[in-house]
Amino acid sequence: MRIFHSPHQRLHAPEKELHNGAFVPFAEHPGRVDAILAAVGPTDVPADHGEDPILRVHSRAYVDFLKTAFEDWRAAGRPGDAAGYVWPVVGRRPLKLSRIDARLGQYSYDASTPIGSGTWDATYWSAQAALSGMDAILGGERSAFALCRPPGHHAGADYMGGYCYLNAAAIAAEAAISAGRKRVAILDIDYHHGNGTQDIFLTRGDVFFASIHADPRTDYPFYWGHADETGIGGGEGTNLNLPLPQGTSIAPFEAALDRALGAIARFDADVLVCSFGADTFAGDPISFFELRTEDYGPIARRIAAAGLPTLIVMEGGYAVDALGANVSSFLSGF
């Protein structure tokens, strides 16, 4: 299987994040890709598709914010990484504000998504890795792996959050539509609900989004991922959330997976994008499912049995010592 990854993706390396009320070392660090690269072997450098496919998903204003936020932060005399500390409540009237602190709040929803000097470069190349993976799929490959980092599934059209800046899976799915595919399915099996991907496609009938994740009544991102979010307008019936309780192990996980794959089969997709997070692993430091390394191969075999050309996009997974083995186990099923 071809694997796409750019060394630029290491340049995103924030120092700290706010976690449960304290500043702690940033969990989504470059060592994650080192662990995966050591396990999966050689990768291909992605081709540069430019900004156009990114702008089919994200707003121009948001992309411009991402590109300049760190410079603006430094120009304001601030140390360290750019991080927000004030957010507009839902329904607040739109304002055109230039102060960096106001802009950080406008374009984010949480405090775990700092911007450093290399963040734009890294997230740009993470998106390019997904686009190159989709090129391989559209060219006839049965599967490809985009070793994305930073991850993407929490990022919406005009917001960052949950360690995510550009939504690589959404950008790849949209590229498939632009290339003439009629229906694309996205299966998100990261521990956390893929709220950004859901938001991007919620009103769309041509992109099906199915997500298996920790129940948002107990887990981040709380405000999305509930079972009654089924799509809006032309997208009604093309959004499927399957929240599961903390402590979930392989049997109930596979039952949910079969439900998601059944819905995807009925949707009759041309292409599948799988947002894969290894933070469902029992040893994950910020998550509470009970999957084992040896569970990922059978999970992947069930997904492969859907018979769809499948782009795998890396999302979360923070148990770095086991991350390489967990990703290898998953890829072995394709």
Residue 220, interface with ligand Q9C (CB under 6 A)?
Answer: yes
Query: Would you count residue 284 as binding Zn ion (CB under 5 A)?
Result: no
The two tokens of residue 282 are 């029992």
Q: In 50-160, where does DSSP find H-type helix? A: 52-55, 60-75, 100-106, 119-138
Q: Which of 46, 162, 196, 309 binds ligand Q9C (CB under 6 A)?
A: 162
Contacts of 80 (CB under 8 A, 6+ apart): 15, 16, 114
Map the footprint of ligand Q9C across residues 17-56, applying CB under 6 A: 19-20
Who's near 123: CB < 8 A, 6+ residues apart?
A: 12, 66, 150, 152, 165, 166
For Zn ion, the closer of residues 152 and 235 by Cβ is 152
Nearer Cβ to ligand Q9C (163/289):
163
Which residues in the 98-157 window bind ligand Q9C by CB under 6 A? 112, 151, 154
> In the set 8, 103, 192, 204, which binds ligand Q9C (CB under 6 A)?
192
- Compute the least distance from the CB of residue 150 to ligand Q9C, in Å: 8
Q: Say if residues 223 and 201 touch (Cβ distance below 8 Å).
A: no
> Is the preceding peptide bond at 243 cis, omega within 30 degrees of 0?
no
Nearest partner of 210 among 232, 228, 194, 233, judged by Cα: 194
Is 153 a catalytic site residue?
A: no
Pairing type for strands 2-4 and 207-214 reads unpaired
> Rounded distance, CA 259 to CA 280, Å?
18
Please tell me whether residue 279 binds ligand Q9C under the rule CB under 6 A. yes
Radius of gyration of the chain (CA): 18
Closest C-alpha to 145, from 46, 212, 213: 46
How many residues bind ligand Q9C (CB under 6 A)? The answer is 15
Least distance in angstroms from the C-beta of 251 to ligand Q9C: 23
Q: Does 277 bind Zn ion (CB under 5 A)?
A: yes
Of these residues, 12, 58, 153, 154, which one is catalytic? Answer: 154
Q: Which lies closer to ligand Q9C via its Cβ, residue 163 or residue 267? A: 163
Q: Which of residues 147-206 bind Zn ion (CB under 5 A)?
A: 190-192
Phi and psi, residue 221, nearest 5°: -95, 20
- Compute the least distance from the CB of residue 46 to ligand Q9C, in Å: 20
Q: Which stretch binds Zn ion (CB under 5 A): 14-22, 74-82, 227-235, 278-286?
A: 278-286
Site residues, Zn ion (CB under 5 A)? 190-192, 277, 279, 316
Site residues, ligand Q9C (CB under 6 A)? 19-20, 112, 151, 154, 162-164, 190, 192, 220, 277, 279, 315-316
Catalytic site residues? 154
